Amino acid sequence: MAKVLVTDDALFMRMQLKDILTNLGHEVVGEAENGQVSVEKYQELQPDLVTMDITMPEMNGVEALKEIKKIDNTAKVIMCSAMGQQDMVVEAIQAGAKDFIVKPFSAERIEESLNKVL
């Protein structure tokens, strides 16, 4: 049972992730629509895990990941990316992301990723 912060600029994706996470028994403690908000909410909520979209306005997911790692170098962040973003996924893993999920995602893949990271 983890406290999760869901970060995605698309409301639909946040709702979908929130449903899957809740059904898996986790608690979604916050949502962020861009990287800047995610960094602020990470400090405020101190979640066990963050799901982070890569491509977002204001601050992208890789930049937000780096900022969160400055705050807490033990932070657990799972990147969510669309196909064709391999370069950014590699950069995110190098910056400390624990795993990545390719959109559109399935509940099974999310559960597998959570089990690996938590």
Q: φ, ψ for residue 45 (rounded to 5)?
A: -95, -25
How large a percentage of the chain has pLDDT more than 90?
Answer: 88
Q: CATH number of the domain that 37 lies in?
A: 3.40.50.2300
Dist. CA 92–CA 86, nearest whole Å: 10
Supply the range of the domain harboring residue 17: 3-117
- Tokens 């629509």 found at: 33
3-state helix, strand, coil in the chain (%, to 5): 45, 20, 30
**Whether the bond into 57 is cis, omega within 30 of 0:** no
Domain count within the chain = 1
How many residues are listed for the chain in this entry? 118
Residue 12 DSSP one-character state: H
**Predicted confidence (pLDDT) per residue in 36-94, tens digit:** 999 999 999 999 999 999 999 999 999 999 999 999 999 999 999 887 777 888 899 99
